[in-house]
Amino acid sequence: MAQVTLNGVGKTYPNGFEAVKPSSFDIADGEFVVLVGPSGCGKSTLLRMVAGLEDITAGSLNIGDREVNDVDPADRDVAMVFQNYALYPHMTVRKNIGYGLKNRGTSAAEIEAKVQDAAKMLDLSALLDRKPSQLSGGQRQRVAMGRAVVRDPALFLFDEPLSNLDAKLRNQMRIEIKALQRRLGVTSIYVTHDQVEAMTMADRIIVLNGGEIEQIGTPAEIYHNPASKFVASFMGAPPMNLIDAQLENGEIRMNGSTVLTAPSDQAYAGPVTMGIRPEDVVIDEAGSTPFTIEIVEELGAHRLLHGRLAGHAFTVHVGKESLANAGEVRLQIKPDAIRLFQPETGKAI
């Protein structure tokens, strides 16, 4: 177990493409950090640099109190779970799990004991003599986990480990991985493009976009106080409503007419992008803002009302007891639910 420190770690390919701009952050001992972002944002490259599968071209990386920039992947004391599991197809489950131990000079008896323990923990005991081709997707995923767990590493690295599973299994494995990490207390870095995985699993989320860190924070911080328009639109399903507006004297005007009160005293004046989470709005006949419902998405426990607010596309999230008919309604928007962003830079004001 160890903390991880990235100090200006970056990756520039020989052809000049900068996949990851110099990034710095610390991961505390036992912390579960999720790197999230759209494809091509550099999250996998960053993870692979931590694993040692990709050279670090800028900055320094420390695992524990040791700089590991030039340390062989096998000597970094990390274990990695790959997207396609990367099991050795010619080896049985037992050998797959034990291979890393065997190469570290562990005695055969100790390997067998540790493999048995890991298999028990992951419910694989009955499958130890099978080959990966005889396993289901979920079982392969467990074997990949077992291979990581059995080594008792300082750091777990997960590279989109659930993206090849069906939705139901994904939800189940998500909880299992999180529970396992809690139990073992191993520092973990988890890469995903799925914001639900990021929100539910992370102690802290790092949102990446275009090779750059957009925001680092707890799931709640990221969700409620996004640092940029990108984070606001990427995290949360449905995403935050973003509307171009005008801020003057503490009032927000949309299309010159509809007026809302700004969250707090704002010194800034001029064009802004206003962000409102769909669930921070209530339908209220006494409300100040007119809203035209066009489409109702029925989701059982709640409903999503898609429509127009002052001519802009807008989504409202309501409970199952609220009305759901297309047509005109009025909305109550609390001032403290409104987030403001610079329209050009996208940064939060």
Partner 1 sequence: MKRAGFTSVWLPVALLLPQLSIIAIFFYWPAGWAVQSSFYLQDPFGFGSTFVGFENYTDLTANSEYMRIAWFTVVFTVLVTFFSLSIALLLAVKADKVIRGAKSYRTLLMWVYAVAPPVAGFMGIMLFHQHTGPMTDFFKALGWDYKILVDYNSTATAFIIVSVWKQIPVNFIFFLSGLQSIPRAVREAAMIDNRSGVRRFWDITFPLLAPTGFFLLIINITYALFDTFGIIDTLVKGEPGNNPMTLVYKVYMDGFRGNDLGGSSAQSVILMVLVLVLTVFQFRLIERRIHYS
Binding site for partner 1 (CB under 8 A): 51-53, 72-75, 78-80, 82-90, 99-100, 103, 131, 133, 147
Q: Which two tokens stand for residue 300?
A: 């059982």
Contact 341, 347 (CB under 8 A): yes
CB of 99 to partner 1, least distance (A): 5
CB of 116 to partner 1, least distance (A): 19
Nearer to partner 1, 40 or 290 (CB): 40
CB of 128 to partner 1, least distance (A): 17
Query: Which helix (H) or strand (E) is 333 found in, with range?
Result: strand 327-333
Nearer to partner 1, 88 or 268 (CB): 88
Burial class (CB in 10 A: 0-12, 13-18, 19+), 169: middle
Nearer to partner 1, 96 or 181 (CB): 96
For residue 347, which phi and psi values (nearest 5 degrees)? -75, 150
Place of tokens 């990386």: 61
**Rounded Cα gap, residues 72 and 52, in angstroms:** 7
Q: Give the torsion through C-alpha atoms of 348, 197, 53, 19, to 10 deg.
A: -30
CB of 243 to partner 1, least distance (A): 43
Nearer to partner 1, 32 or 156 (CB): 156
CB of 80 to partner 1, least distance (A): 5
Nearer to partner 1, 104 or 308 (CB): 104
CB of 7 to partner 1, least distance (A): 23
CB of 86 to partner 1, least distance (A): 4
Nearer to partner 1, 30 or 73 (CB): 73
Tell me the Ramachandran region of residue 333: left when phi exceeds 0, alpha when psi lies from -120 to 50, beta otherwise.
beta
**Rounded Cα gap, residues 261 and 254, in angstroms:** 12
For residue 137, which phi and psi values (nearest 5 degrees)? -55, -45
CB of 49 to partner 1, least distance (A): 13
Query: Which helix (H) or strand (E) is 205 found in, with range?
Result: strand 204-209
SS3 content of the chain, % helix, strand, coil (to 5): 30, 35, 35
Nearer to partner 1, 61 or 260 (CB): 61
CA 243 from centre of chain = 25
Counting every residue written for the chain, the total comes to: 349
Instruction: Provide the 3-class DSSP secondary structure of residue 134.
Output: helix
CB of 167 to partner 1, least distance (A): 23
Nearer to partner 1, 150 or 242 (CB): 150
Nearer to partner 1, 89 or 300 (CB): 89
Q: What is the DSSP letter of 11?
A: E
**Rounded Cα gap, residues 286 and 41, in angstroms:** 44
Q: Which ranges in 186-343 belong to alpha helices (H)?
A: 195-201, 219-224, 229-234
